[in-house]
């Protein structure tokens, strides 16, 4: 079952890429992406959300000599991210033009990315993960370099170098873990006790190496410097894949390998991680305020939102880890919506400059629906309740508060700064007076509206019914917390009480 | 089970009607508008509001003889956090929804006339309905967390509603400032909400009150939490120093202003009243509330006197009266606070309706350009008078009783605050009389030459509300809500009446009398400028908070560009540079390479020996 998620898009990519005289590349890719999405959704029915271990495992021995095996599985952490991957792939393919340059290569590469990322999320072997993690570089590099903006070669090279270094460090960390713990293979279910027996200082060093590796991918300040250039120069579709899905590989790695494999060292480093997270959050928000290019603004906002995930993981409470998973998915959806809408605005209006944009909410000559969706997307990112961004951020805050009171409060302040730059963005693009001379923009067709509409609908739905988002992960994250030993600071004056059961006379509603 | 009982038990449906209306309005965006015009969206919302109102009224009649009904909706159960939304259906909460939906219906009816020429109907009415649904849900829900959620959604609503006429630059900045100022309050409230759960273990107001009674929590912690909790209502109620947004929100269309001033702003006070049991744990927080309330009450009343924009002259009175409610809650007089909210809400709604009819067809809302409308607009004038009398302590109308009750409670412990209330009342009477004299008194000026009474869509709700304001004391009397005359301090009553008369008479002498040259100038030019410019608050904000954030963000961006990215690029440059340098070492002579190898081997051998 899980293999299909890897092989169907891959075979599809080969088909789309190499089938002679294929004219309808988009249609074919869309069909494959739809099938993958349906299979991913069917996983939710098969998945048992009450247990914490790996499910639907598959195993094939591959190269036993070096400990590489084809072992797949899915748990409450990877399932939502798998779904996000399949869904955003579908959105990206649907949202791309059929007559894009070199369309067959383009759609084939998207499918390859989808396949490889799914592989990374389901891999249960460290080497297999690295394999997928590194493979994903090639299609993304090509997509940035071929369909990117003006400085695309610079951006693509920057992305390649940074991510390659990230992969190298992660590989180093994995080797260290396996050899020092004396394990025979690279499977995830290697002996956790053996890892725990590595001396703590060594563990901390390994963790630091892994953290830098995944920190580049996520990205965390100060390892983020590739992100603005790459997100901005990439075409909107690639930016959605990068920010919506690939950045999640970084946070997934943080949870799966750093937190889960090295819980002792993680507990040791958690105050430092909390501080780095808070700096990321504040830094992302502040730099976003200074931007005049809306795409760059959204790109910087992404840095801040990834910081929340790290804060939650550093705090390591049951609530905060669920919040972290929720934040990964919600950030993926919201960022995809924002990048998509920014892309629509750029193609229709011809600029991304805040100083040139104006009054797009105008119902006759502007882009009213696009602007409305942009307002909702921006507000979701700023954490307005009723939208999915709020509940994830709130769980992060509430979960982290007992461990890091001050840092959490700083992050709440930063979420206010998020509102500042989104208000700047919305005020300049959607509000204001439309320029009479230039304002006859091409109409946005319904096909172009659809991806954003679906994303916004999902943002609304998961905001109102968050249990659909969160219930899959709870046993998994609880099990992770059980292995952690992060204490609330002893000098903190906050006394944690157990939550008493509601004593309200409950009347059943009709 | 009879009909009214069913409606009572299903009172949680009240917020759903306007919500349905708001969602329905989406179809008028914008495709159907070309076929049907925008007006049906307004009618749909007016009807759903009316349904909600009728539901509330019938449920209210059934609620008197019953204990409150507690319901709960399960929302989210995750890890050790159980988010269940408790709902309290009692005569108080239903009465509050009736007030909200009633005022909303009048405002929407009014908007049908007022927005006649507008094209943004669907958006406008949907947002009004969103507010209505939010407010009704707010009074019904009994949990701090869900109240916070609703307040935050309404903050977004304010942004969109103020930004309705987004073509105008002032509207855009107004919407921005309204959103950000309220958001500041909301986020500090969120900090309080997050911090409260580990302490109290619950967010339900009832259980919080229980917890507050028998908890021995660290006084410093609870003071900090209380201050954070106060910040939310401070932002909502436009208290100093977060009052700026209300002034800027006056750029929104007038019907939304009616609603904002009469019910949206008091929503913050409602939360404050609900939180009173916790806040009373910290005497510092209570004093803080009194201080903030006092500053806002006096400051707002003073600033209102110097405004030349009609809407702004009234809007600062909103801050001022909310300040009085802060004082009431800060001195643990919750009932006076609730009574004051009620009398204030209807009176201020009437005042805004009245001035709205004036500048709808007088084109201007500048007080210096209006005058002498009494002969042309007697009904608007009467409505204004009734609203003014209902707002300040003018017996026997509502404001008098509410302020009397408040002063009566303050008399024994805080006589200074009684003096403060008297001053605020006097100043309010003064500025309302000033507005009245400037609009309706004297001879008509240019802008007031052609200004007939307006159409029935605006007049009808104004007159209805006027009747309600005038009869409010009778209604309250019949429900036993008025304080008993025998229990009251007659001196306070007399003082209150005197302060009103004082304000009215001085103001009429100044603004109607012939002896003082018009336009009236304060003796001190500096003071007048200070008040007219709202104590220069916008400027102060621009030069402090806004400036700081802008500078810090520029610095952060600079660091990002030149330090972090610079470092990355430096590595790249170094690599290229070293490659460039090293390439000269490849000169292509085999003998030289061989020599290097031999020397290398020799060195290694030498080291091994």
DSSP B523: S
The reply to whether B219 falls in a domain is no
Is the pLDDT at A190 greater than 70? The verdict is no
Please check whether residue B66 lies inside any domain of the structure.
Answer: yes
Averaged confidence pLDDT in chain B: 88
Residue of B nearest to A503 (CA): B207
Please check whether residues B51 and B17 belong to one and the same domain: yes
> Does the pLDDT at position A377 exceed 90?
yes
Q: Are residues B475 and B550 in the same domain?
A: no
Q: Are the CB atoms for A426 and A378 separated by under 8 Å?
A: yes
Are residues B195 and A494, on separate chains, in Cβ contact within 8 Å?
yes
* Residue A352, phi then psi, degrees to nearest 5: -120, 10
**Same domain for B28 and B100?**
yes
pLDDT, tens digit, 9 for 90 and up, residues B174-214: 999 899 989 999 999 999 999 999 888 889 998 898 888 88
Do B361 and B504 reside in the same domain of the chain?
yes
Question: Do B78 and B30 share a structural domain?
Answer: yes
Q: Tokens at residue A319, please?
A: 């609530």
State the pLDDT at residue A240. Answer: 94
Of all residues in chain A, the one with the smallest CA distance to B84 is A502
For residue B292, tell me if it sits in a domain: no
Mean pLDDT value of segment B413-440: 91
Q: Which range has the top average pLDDT, A19-28, A445-454, A488-497, B472-481?
A: A445-454
Q: Which of A326, A426, A505 to mutate to test the interface with B (most CBs of B within 10 A)?
A: A426
The DSSP-derived string for A128-159 is HHHHHHHHTHHHHHHHHHHH--TTHHHHHHHH
A139-168 pLDDT, tens digit per residue, is 999 999 999 888 899 999 999 999 999 999
Considering chain A, what is the average pLDDT of its residues? Answer: 88
Pairwise CA distance, residues B242 & B180, whole Å:
10
Please answer whether residues B399 and B350 qualify as being in contact, where contact means their C-beta atoms are separated by less than 8 angstroms. Answer: no
* Position A84 pLDDT exceeds 90: yes
For residues A137 and A217, is the Cβ–Cβ distance under 8 A? no
The answer as to whether B149 is a domain residue is: no
State whether residue A279 sits within 8 Å of chain B by CB. no
Of B532, B556, B579, the position where a domain reaches its end is: B532
Is A385 in contact with B149 (Cβ distance < 8 A)? yes
- Provide mean pLDDT across the span B134-142: 93
Instruction: Tell me if B230 is assigned to some domain.
Output: no
pLDDT of B30: 67
Is the torsion defined by CA of A103, A104, A107, A112 positive or negative? negative
Q: pLDDT tens digit string along A460-473?
A: 999 999 989 988 88
Looking at the structure, tell me whether residues B70 and B95 fall in a common domain.
yes
Q: Name the residue in chain B with its Cα closest to that of A387.
A: B153
**Mean pLDDT across the stretch A122-140?**
92
- Confidence label for A493 from pLDDT (cuts 50, 70 and 90): very low
Residue A37 DSSP SS3: helix
Percentage above 70 pLDDT, chain A = 94
Q: Do A494 and B197 touch (CB under 8 A)?
A: no
Task: Supply φ then ψ for residue A221, to 5 degrees.
Answer: -65, 135
Q: Give the nearest chain A residue to B548 (CA atoms).
A: A286
| Statement to judge: residues B443 and B555 lie in one domain | no
Domain that holds residue B58: 1-142
Instruction: Examine the domain organization and report whether B415 and B457 are in the same domain.
Output: yes
pLDDT tens digits, B63-122? 888 888 888 888 888 877 888 889 999 988 999 999 999 999 999 999 999 988 887 888
Residue B112 within a domain: yes
pLDDT tier for residue A393 given thresholds of 50, 70 and 90: very high
- How many A/B residue pairs have CB atoms within 8 Å? 188
> How many Å lie between the alpha carbon of B80 and the closest alpha carbon of chain A?
7
Specify the number of domains making up chain B.
3
Tell me, letter by letter, the H, E, C secondary structure of B121-164. Answer: HHHHHHHHHHHHHHHHHHHHECEHHHHHHHHHHHHHHHHHHHHH
Question: What is residue A382's predicted lDDT score, i.e. its pLDDT?
Answer: 92
Residue with token string 């004297």: B442
- The predicted model gives A53-69 an average pLDDT of 85
Together in a domain, B11 and B101: yes
Residue B162 in any domain: the answer is no
Question: Each residue of A274-290: pLDDT tens digit?
Answer: 999 999 999 999 999 99
Q: Which helix (H) or strand (E) holds A113?
A: helix A103-122
Same domain for B442 and B561, yes or no, is: no
ipTM of the complex: 0.90
Q: B-contacting residues of A 469-488, CB under 8 Å?
A: 470-471, 474, 477-478
The tens digit of pLDDT for each residue in B439-490 reads: 888 888 777 777 777 888 889 999 999 999 999 989 888 887 777 777 778 8
Whether residues B499 and B551 fall in one domain: no
Say which of A226, A286, A504 has its CB closest to residue B70.
Answer: A504
- Residues from chain B that touch A477, judged by Cβ atoms under 8 A, are 79
Residue B188 lies in a domain: no
Residue B66 carries which DSSP code?
A: S
A384 with B29: Cβ contact below 8 A: no
Last residue of a domain, one of B111, B142, B173: B142
- Judging contacts by C-beta atoms under 8 Å, the chain B residues touching residue A504 are 70, 72, 86, 204, 206
Q: Which residues pair with B89 in a beta bridge?
A: B69
Chain A residues lying within 8 Å of B69, measured CB to CB: 507
B502 and B559 inside one domain? no
């Amino acid at each position: 079952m899980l293999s299909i998620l890897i092989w169907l898009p891959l075979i599809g990519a080969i088909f789309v890429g190499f089938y002679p005289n294929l004219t309808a590349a988009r249609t074919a890719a869309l069909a494959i992406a739809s099938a993958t999405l349906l299979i991913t959704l069917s996983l939710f029915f098969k998945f048992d959300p009450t247990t914490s271990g790996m499910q639907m495992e598959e195993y094939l021995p591959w190269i036993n000599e070096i400990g590489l095996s084809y072992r797949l599985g899915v748990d409450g952490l990877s399932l939502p991210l798998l779904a996000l991957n399949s869904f955003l792939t579908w959105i990206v393919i649907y949202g791309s033009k059929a007559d894009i340059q070199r369309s067959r290569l383009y759609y084939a590469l998207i499918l390859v990315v989808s396949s490889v990322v799914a592989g990374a999320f389901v891999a249960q072997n460290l080497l297999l993960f690295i394999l997928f993690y590194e493979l994903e570089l090639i299609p993304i590099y090509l997509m940035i370099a071929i369909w990117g903006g003006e400085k695309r070669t610079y951006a693509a090279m920057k992305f390649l170098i940074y991510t390659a270094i990230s992969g190298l460090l992660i590989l180093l960390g994995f080797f260290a873990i396996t050899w020092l713990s004396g394990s025979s293979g690279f499977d995830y279910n290697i002996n956790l006790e053996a890892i725990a027996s590595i001396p703590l200082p060594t563990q901390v060093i390994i963790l630091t190496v892994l953290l830098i590796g995944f920190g580049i991918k996520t990205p965390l300040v100060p390892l983020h410097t590739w992100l603005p250039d790459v997100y901005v120069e990439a075409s909107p579709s690639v930016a959605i894949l990068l920010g919506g899905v690939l950045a999640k590989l970084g946070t997934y790695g943080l949870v799966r390998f750093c937190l889960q494999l090295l819980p002792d060292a993680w507990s040791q480093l958690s105050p430092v991680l909390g501080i780095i997270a808070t700096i990321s959050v504040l830094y992302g928000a502040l730099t976003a305020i200074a931007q005049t290019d809306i795409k760059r603004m959204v790109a910087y906002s992404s840095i801040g939102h990834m910081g929340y995930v790290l804060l939650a993981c550093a705090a390591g409470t049951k609530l905060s880890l669920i919040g972290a998973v929720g934040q990964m998915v919600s950030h993926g959806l919201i960022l995809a919506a924002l990048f998509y809408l920014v892309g629509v605005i750029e193609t229709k209006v011809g600029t991304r400059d805040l100083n040139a944009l104006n009054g797009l909410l105008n119902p006759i000559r502007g882009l009213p629906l696009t602007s409305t969706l942009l307002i909702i997307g921006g507000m979701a990112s700023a954490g307005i309740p009723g939208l999915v961004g709020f509940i994830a951020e709130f769980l992060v805050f509430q979960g982290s508060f007992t461990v890091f009171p001050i840092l959490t409060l700083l992050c709440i302040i930063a979420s206010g700064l998020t509102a500042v730059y989104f208000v700047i963005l919305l005020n300049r693009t959607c509000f204001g007076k439309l320029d009479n001379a230039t304002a006859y923009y091409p109409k946005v067709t319904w096909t172009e509206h659809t991806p954003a509409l679906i994303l916004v609908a999902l943002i609304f739905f998961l905001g109102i019914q968050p249990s659909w988002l969160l219930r899959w992960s709870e046993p998994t994250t609880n099990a992770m917390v059980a292995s952690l030993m992060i204490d609330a600071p002893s000098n903190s004056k906050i006394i944690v009480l157990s939550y008493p059961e509601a004593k309200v006379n409950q009347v059943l509603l009709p | 089970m009879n009909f009214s009982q069913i409606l009572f038990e299903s009172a949680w449906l009240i917020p759903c009607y306007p919500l349905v209306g708001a969602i329905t309005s989406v179809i008028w965006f914008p495709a159907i508008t070309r076929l049907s015009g925008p007006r049906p969206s307004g009618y749909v919302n007016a009807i759903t509001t009316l349904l909600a109102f009728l539901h509330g009224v019938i449920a209210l009649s059934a609620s008197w003889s019953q204990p409150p009904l507690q319901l709960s909706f399960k929302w989210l159960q995750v890890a050790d956090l159980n988010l269940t939304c408790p709902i309290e259906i009692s005569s108080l909460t239903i009465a509050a929804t009736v007030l909200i939906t009633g005022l909303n219906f009048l405002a929407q009816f009014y908007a049908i006339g007022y927005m006649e020429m507008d094209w943004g109907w669907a958006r406008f009415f949907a947002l009004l309905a969103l507010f209505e649904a939010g407010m009704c849900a707010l009074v019904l829900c009994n949990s701090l967390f869900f109240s916070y959620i609703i307040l935050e959604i309404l903050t977004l609503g304010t942004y969109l509603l103020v930004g309705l006429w987004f073509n105008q630059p002032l509207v855009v900045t107004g919407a921005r400032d309204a959103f950000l100022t309220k958001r500041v309050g909301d986020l500090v409230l969120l900090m309080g909400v997050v911090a409260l759960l580990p302490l109290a273990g619950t967010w339900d107001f009832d259980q919080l009150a229980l917890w507050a009674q028998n908890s021995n929590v660290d006084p410093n912690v609870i003071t900090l939490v209380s201050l954070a909790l106060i910040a939310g209502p401070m932002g909502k109620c436009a208290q100093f120093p977060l009052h700026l947004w209300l002034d800027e929100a006056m750029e929104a269309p007038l019907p939304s202003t009616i609603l904002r001033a009469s019910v949206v702003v008091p929503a913050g006070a409602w939360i404050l009243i609900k939180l009173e049991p916790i806040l009373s744990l910290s005497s510092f927080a209570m004093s803080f509330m009194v201080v903030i309330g006092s500053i806002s009450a006096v400051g707002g009343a003073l600033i209102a006197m110097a405004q030349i924009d009609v809407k702004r002259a009234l809007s600062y009175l909103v801050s001022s009266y909310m300040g009085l409610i802060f004082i009431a809650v800060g001195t643990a007089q919750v009932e006076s606070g609730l009574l004051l909210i009620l009398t204030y809400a209807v009176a201020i709604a009437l005042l805004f309706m009245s001035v709205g009819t004036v500048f709808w067809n007088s084109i201007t809302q500048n007080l210096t350009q209006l005058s002498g409308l009494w002969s042309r607009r007697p009904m608007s004038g009467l409505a204004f008078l009734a609203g003014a009398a209902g707002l300040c302590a003018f017996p026997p109308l509502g404001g008098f009783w509410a302020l009397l009750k408040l002063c009566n409670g303050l008399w024994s412990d805080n006589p200074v605050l009684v003096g403060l209330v008297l001053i605020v009342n006097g100043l309010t009477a003064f500025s309302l009389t000033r507005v009245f004299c400037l609009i309706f008194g004297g001879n008509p000026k240019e802008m007031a030459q052609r200004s007939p009474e307006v159409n029935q869509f605006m007049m009808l709700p104004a007159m209805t509300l006027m009747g309600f304001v005038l009869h409010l004391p009778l209604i309250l009397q019949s429900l036993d809500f008025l304080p008993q005359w025998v229990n009251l301090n007659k001196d306070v009553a007399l003082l209150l009446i005197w302060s009103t008369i004082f304000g009215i008479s001085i103001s009429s002498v100044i603004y109607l009398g012939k002896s003082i040259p018009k336009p009236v100038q304060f003796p001190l030019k500096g003071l007048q400028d200070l008040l007219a410019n709202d104590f220069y608050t916008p400027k102060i904000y621009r030069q402090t908070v806004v400036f700081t954030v802008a500078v810090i963000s520029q610095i952060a961006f600079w660091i990002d560009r030149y330090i972090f990215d610079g470092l990355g690029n430096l590595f790249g440059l170094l690599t290229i540079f070293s490659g460039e340098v090293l390439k000269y070492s490849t000169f292509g002579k085999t003998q030289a390479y061989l020599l290097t190898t031999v020397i290398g081997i020799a060195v290694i051998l030498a080291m091994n020996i």
